Structures are given as C-alpha cells and as structure tokens.
C-alpha cells in the first residue's frame, strides 16, 4: 500500500510504543476509540503493516495513516490547513528537528521540501510527539482532532502494553512451571533408578545363593524361575525410565521386587 503526504500540510506524528506485534489490534482499537470520541472514519485501506483512512471530527477533516515502524506503530495525521497555519507549523518543525540538520541536508544537495519532511520526521522519537517545536508548545498548535488523536493513541498504547505485560508474565509463569516439572521429573527418575539398583543388587545376591543351593542338591527350580523373571522386569523398568515412562517403570520395579522376595521365601522354605 502506497501513500503520500503533502509537504504543504505538515503532519502530526504520534507513536504507539512497543506495540508493533499488536498491529491489527492497534488499528481496530484506535478506530473504535476515535469513533467513541465522535470521529467519522471513511475510505479505509487496511493492510498487513499499513493502514490509511479519511477522518472527520466536528468541522475538521484530514487523512490518517498507520504503519509498523520497528517495534512501534507510527500514526500520522494530515489535516486540511490554511496557509497561515502551515507557516507557523513549518517554523516549529524546523526548530524541533534542528536547523543544523536541515541546513546540512541542503548543503549536501537535494530537494528542500524533502529535507524539510526528513528533518521534521527525525525530530519525532518516542511517545506521542508531533512534528512541531516541542511537545508543550505543540499543544497550542494542535487541532481539535489532533488532540483527540494524541489521547486516543496513548490510551490504546496503554491498553496493549498492559496486555503485553500480562502475556509476558503468563509466558514466564509457564516457563517456570515447565522448569519445576522437569526438576520434579528428574528427581522421580533419580529415585526410581536408585530403587531399581537396589532390586538388581538383591536379585544378583539371591541368584548366587540359588546356584550354591543347587550345587548342594536343593530343588531351586521355582526360585530360579522367579529370579529370571525379576531380571527381565528389571530390564523393562530400565527401558521405561530411559523413555520417560516413569509410571510403567515404577510398576515394573515393584513387580521385580515382589519376584525377588518370593524367590527368597521359596529358597528358604
């Protein structure tokens, strides 16, 4: 979407700070806010990063533009002015932008009108500032709608920054919960591994006793079957822990422990 500002009518420029990520929401909220303040909006052209529209407030008419500018949203309002107002606004713009920067541009060459627009635009950084001499003095130069627009931009900026803060807080909360959950899972995994090692040690010790008893002629078949089964459960539990299935691992460990205890009872009994 292309748009052009008339250099004969120096525009008012405002910024919605840090809300570029809410561009569509910003445009909709600003239009709604202005409508509530009695503004008639027509001929809207709204794109992904730029928007323009005609505005009418009481007996004042002009053209308003919105565009994403880095992390901010620039709002430009060009009012239909009389020439005596243009001269005053232009002097303020030159003072606000800095005569030096303008003259350096002229000495380097180029169109004077373009240098005026560049110099005025360069003076506008942060907050709701217009392209005039300074914020306080510019209040006297604002039109009725420009004053309403400045307030509306600030109000919408505040609303969206509040939402952004809430979203950041929610993301941080989710990150913290995820971190705590990971720590908790890691602790559970460590506890299961320690328990699994204990069961494995008991199974190995019992297996040695079974082999000795078998050499002595004792019938150890039932105990041997249960120890073998305990070893299989041990391996299955170890695999479950590695894939993060701690509930299955816990059940396998409990079953392996029961097998070892039962095998020991049979061997002793």
Domain CATH for 184: 1.20.1270
For the four alpha carbons of 92, 98, 100 and 101, in that order, the dihedral sign comes to negative
Do 17 and 101 belong together in one domain? yes
pLDDT for residue 137 is more than 80: no
Residue 9's pLDDT is what? 58
What letter does residue 127 receive in the DSSP assignment?
S
Domain count, the chain: 2
* Residue 80: exposure state from Cβ atoms within 10 A (0-12, 13-18, ≥19): exposed
127 pLDDT band, cuts 50/70/90, is: very low
Distance CA 87, CA 214 (A): 112
Write b or e for each residue in 237-246: b if 16 or more Cβ atoms lie within 10 A of its Cβ, otherwise e.
Answer: bbebbeeeeb
Do 23 and 135 belong together in one domain? yes
Q: 212-245: per-residue pLDDT in tens?
A: 888 888 888 988 889 899 989 989 999 998 888 8
Return the closest-CA partner of residue 76 out of 25, 37, 130.
130
pLDDT for residue 100 is more than 90: no
The proportion of the chain whose per-residue pLDDT surpasses 90, expressed as a percent, equals: 35
Token code pair at residue 189:
């995994």
Do 107 and 196 belong together in one domain? no
Residue 200's pLDDT is what? 87
Average pLDDT, the chain: 77
pLDDT for residue 110 is more than 70: no
Residue 141's pLDDT is what? 58
Select the more confidently predicted residue: 135 or 210: 210
* Residue 169: exposure state from Cβ atoms within 10 A (0-12, 13-18, ≥19): exposed
Do 21 and 136 belong together in one domain? yes
Phi, psi angles (nearest 5°) of residue 95: -65, -45
Residue 35's pLDDT is what? 95
Do 126 and 248 belong together in one domain? no
Q: Give domain status of residue 169, yes or no.
A: no
Residue 81's pLDDT is what? 52
**Can you list the pairs that 55-64 forms with residues at least 24 positions away whose Cβ atoms lie under 8 Å?**
55/145, 57/144, 57/145, 57/148, 58/144, 58/145, 60/143, 60/144, 60/145, 62/143, 62/145, 64/149
Residue 62's pLDDT is what? 93
**CA end-to-end distance (rounded Å), the chain:** 90
pLDDT for residue 101 is more than 50: no
Give the CA angle between residues 172, 173, 176 to the nearest 5°. 85
Q: Give domain status of residue 157, yes or no.
A: no
Q: What is the mean pLDDT of residues 41-65?
A: 93
Residue 104's pLDDT is what? 35
How many CA atoms lie within 13 Å of 255's alpha carbon, on the beta-carbon side? 16
Q: Tell me which H or E stretch contains 196.
A: helix 144-215
Which range marks the domain in which residue 53 is found? Answer: 12-142
Per the listing, tokens 């430009």 go with 76
């Amino acid at each position: 979407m292309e748009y052009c500002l008339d250099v004969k009518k120096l525009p008012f420029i405002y910024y919605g700070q840090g809300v570029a990520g809410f561009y569509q929401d910003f445009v909709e909220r600003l239009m709604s806010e202005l409508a509530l303040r009695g503004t008639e909006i027509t001929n809207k052209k709204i794109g992904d990063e730029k928007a323009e529209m005609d505005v009418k407030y009481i007996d004042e008419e002009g053209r308003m533009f919105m565009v994403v500018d880095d992390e901010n949203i620039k709002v430009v309002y060009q009012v239909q002015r009389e020439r005596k107002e243009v001269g005053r606004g232009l002097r303020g713009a030159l003072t606000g932008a800095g005569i030096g920067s303008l003259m350096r541009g002229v000495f380097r060459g180029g169109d004077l009108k373009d240098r005026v627009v560049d110099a005025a635009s360069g003076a506008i950084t942060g907050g709701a500032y217009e392209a005039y001499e300074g914020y306080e003095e510019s209040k006297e130069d604002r039109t009725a709608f420009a004053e309403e627009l400045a307030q509306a931009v600030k109000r919408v900026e505040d609303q969206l920054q509040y939402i952004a803060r809430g979203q950041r807080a929610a993301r941080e909360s989710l990150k913290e919960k995820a971190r705590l959950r990971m720590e908790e899972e890691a602790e559970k995994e460590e506890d299961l591994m320690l328990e699994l090692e204990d069961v494995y040690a008991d199974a190995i010790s019992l297996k040695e006793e079974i082999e000795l008893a078998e050499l002595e002629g004792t019938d150890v078949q039932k105990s041997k079957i249960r120890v073998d089964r305990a070893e299989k459960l041990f391996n299955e539990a170890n695999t479950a822990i590695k894939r993060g299935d701690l509930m299955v691992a816990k059940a396998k460990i409990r079953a392996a422990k029961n097998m070892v205890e039962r095998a020991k009872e049979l061997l002793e009994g």
